[in-house]
C-alpha cells in the first residue's frame, strides 16, 4: 500500500469515524425514540458547552447565558412534544423574548451584536439538531437519520482521503487551509454514493434520482456546516471545539456537518419524496 494512503487510513480521524458510524447505525436499528431523544439531549448539552465560547468568546455574553440556555433546551423539548409546529412556534417566541432582553439592555455598544449572535446560536444548535427528531417521525425515519450521518461522515471520509492524496486547489484558505476543491468534489460524490447505498440495500425506497439529489444537497450543506464551524473557531483563535474525540477534537467538530445536513434532508424528503 502506498505510504501516503496508509498514513491516511491509520489516522485517528479515520479510525474514530470507522467505529462511530456502524455503532450509530446499529443504535438506530434497535433504539426506541425516547432513548434517541435522551442521547440527542445529552449531545445538545455538550454542544452548548463547547459552542458558547465560539460565539461569545471567553468573557462575553454572560448576561445572556441563562436565557439562551433555557431557550435552547425549551426548543428541543418543543420538537419532542409537538413536532415541527411546536418547534417553529417556540423559535418565534424565543426571538420575541430576546428582542425584549435587547430593549432591556439599552443602547450599549455590544448589545445588538451579542443578541444577534444569541439568535444565531439557538438556530444553529437546538433548531438544526431538532431536525433529527423530526426526521425520526417521517416514513422511513430511522433510515433517513442514518442517511444524514452516512452522507456527511461517509462523504467526509471521501473528502479527507481524496483531498489528502490529490488535493491541490485550496477551497477556502482563509477559513480552512487544508480543504481543497478536489476534496470538496469527492465529498459530494461520497454523499451521493452512500445515499444510493441505502437505496440499494433496501433501507430506503425513495426513487434513485431523488435520493441522489438529497445526498448531494445534504453533503454540500454539510461541508458548508464544517466551514461555518471553522469560521467560528478562527474568529476566536481556537483549533478544536474540544478534545473528547480522537482526531476530531470536540463533539461539535464531529457533528458540525450533521447540523446543516439534517434540515435539508427533512425538507427535501417532504418536498420530493412524500
Q: What is the pLDDT of residue 243?
A: 57
What is the per-residue pLDDT across 46-69, written as a single tens digit (0 to 9) for each? 999 999 989 987 655 556 788 999
Residue 174 or 266, more confident: 266
Spell out the long-range contacts of 166-175 with Cβ–Cβ below 8 A and sequence spacing 24 or more: 172/227, 174/234, 175/227, 175/230, 175/231, 175/234
pLDDT of residue 272 exceeding 50: yes
Grid cell locating 69: 440556555
Share of residues in the chain with pLDDT > 70 (%): 82
What is the per-residue pLDDT across 89-148, written as a single tens digit (0 to 9) for each? 999 999 999 988 888 766 676 778 888 899 999 999 999 999 999 999 999 999 999 999
What is the per-residue pLDDT across 165-206, written as a single tens digit (0 to 9) for each? 887 889 888 888 889 999 999 999 999 999 999 889 888 888
How far from chain centre, in Å, is Cα 241? 14
Amino acid at each position: 500500500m502506498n505510504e501516503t494512503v496508509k498514513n491516511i487510513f491509520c489516522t485517528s480521524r479515520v479510525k474514530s469515524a470507522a467505529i462511530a458510524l456502524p455503532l450509530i447505525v446499529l443504535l438506530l436499528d434497535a433504539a426506541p425514540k425516547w432513548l434517541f431523544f435522551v442521547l440527542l439531549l445529552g449531545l445538545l448539552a455538550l454542544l452548548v458547552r463547547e459552542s458558547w465560547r465560539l460565539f461569545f468568546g471567553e468573557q462575553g455574553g454572560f448576561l445572556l447565558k441563562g436565557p439562551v440556555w433555557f431557550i435552547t433546551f425549551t426548543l428541543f423539548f418543543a420538537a419532542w412534544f409537538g413536532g415541527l409546529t411546536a418547534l417553529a412556534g417556540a423559535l418565534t417566541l424565543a426571538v420575541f423574548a430576546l428582542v425584549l432582553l435587547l430593549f432591556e439592555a439599552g443602547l450599549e455598544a455590544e448589545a445588538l451584536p451579542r443578541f444577534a449572535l444569541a439568535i444565531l446560536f439557538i438556530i444553529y444548535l437546538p433548531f438544526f439538531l431538532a431536525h433529527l427528531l423530526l426526521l425520526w417521525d417521517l416514513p422511513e425515519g430511522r433510515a433517513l437519520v442514518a442517511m444524514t450521518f452516512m452522507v456527511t461522515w461517509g462523504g467526509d471520509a471521501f473528502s479527507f482521503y481524496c483531498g489528502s492524496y490529490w488535493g491541490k486547489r485550496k477551497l477556502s484558505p482563509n477559513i480552512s487551509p487544508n480543504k481543497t476543491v478536489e476534496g470538496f468534489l469527492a465529498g459530494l460524490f461520497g454523499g451521493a454514493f452512500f445515499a444510493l447505498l441505502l437505496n440499494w440495500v433496501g433501507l430506503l425506497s425513495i426513487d434513485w434520482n431523488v435520493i441522489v439529489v438529497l445526498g448531494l444537497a445534504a453533503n454540500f450543506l454539510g461541508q458548508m456546516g464544517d466551514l461555518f464551524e471553522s469560521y467560528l473557531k478562527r474568529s476566536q483563535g481556537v483549533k478544536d471545539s474540544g478534545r473528547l474525540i480522537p482526531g476530531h477534537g470536540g463533539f461539535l467538530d464531529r457533528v458540525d456537518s450533521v447540523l446543516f445536513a439534517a434540515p435539508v434532508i427533512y425538507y427535501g424528503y417532504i418536498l420530493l419524496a412524500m
